Amino acid sequence: MSELFVWKDKFSRGLRDKQHPWTPIFDILENKTGVDRVYLCIGIMGFFLLYMLFGYAAQLMCNIFGFVYPAYASIKALETLKKEDDTKWLTYWVVFAFFSIIEFFSGFILHWFPFYWLLKSMFHLWCFVPIENNGSQIIYQRIIRPWFLGQLDRTVTEFKDAAAKAAADAAAAAMTSALLSDRKQE
């Protein structure tokens, strides 16, 4: 039971931290309703959970959820001189784009699963939650980076080499054609 109180205390401190954009919103809500911000947040999360299960336009809400805070945090990161926050949010967007592409090809199957939009929202949350090794860091380090540094990097190099060879062959053919044309004119 004491772990629950420790979690509630950490959660409460996170909702009161002036560095977060939601703090002023919870200040207003708490003052107007008289309800502690922890319970307000739990109520909002419960409403969101139910909406993602049964609500209209759950896909749109899920995508807005996966975009709004990360976009805000990315813009704030771009305005700082620190590289670490830029890297963190760039990693999120790489993972977001990677899964958007995968979802495009598997979406017609996945969208039939119950609770899909709720699970996808939870996935977004896991990817952008402000902790050291959030989901986007784990997915990038374990899946995307090894694939990119392995297969994709080799493919790009092979394509670049093939394009350079084709350009060299085309230049040689043009040179040969020009020489043959000059000889015919003589």
pLDDT at 74 over 90: yes
Structure tokens at 135: 């989901």
CB 75 within 8 A of CB 52: no
Cα end-to-end span (Å), the chain: 99
Between CA 59 and CA 130 the distance in angstroms is 24
Quick one: which of 99, 128, 130 has its CA closest to 17?
Answer: 130
The residue to which tokens 């949350």 are assigned: 125
Structure tokens at 142: 């374990």
Mind listing the pLDDT tens digit for each residue in 18-65? 887 788 888 898 899 999 889 999 999 899 888 888 878 888 888 899
Whole-number pLDDT of residue 162: 86
Mind listing the pLDDT tens digit for each residue in 111-140? 677 788 888 999 999 999 888 889 999 999
For residue 142, what pLDDT band results from cuts at 50, 70 and 90? very high
pTM given for the model:
0.66
Burial of 95 (0-12, 13-18, 19+ CB in 10 A): buried
Neighbours of 52 (CB within 10 A): 21
Whole-number pLDDT of residue 13: 85
Tell me what percent of the residues of the chain surpass a pLDDT of 90: 31
CA distances from 144 to 69, 128, 129, 138 (A): 23, 16, 19, 9
At residue 20, φ and ψ (nearest 5 deg) are -90, 145
Which residue stretches of 17-152 are H helix?
A: 23-33, 37-54, 58-65, 68-78, 83-110, 116-128, 135-139, 145-147
Highest mean pLDDT among 43-47, 90-94, 106-110: 90-94
Whole-number pLDDT of residue 135: 94
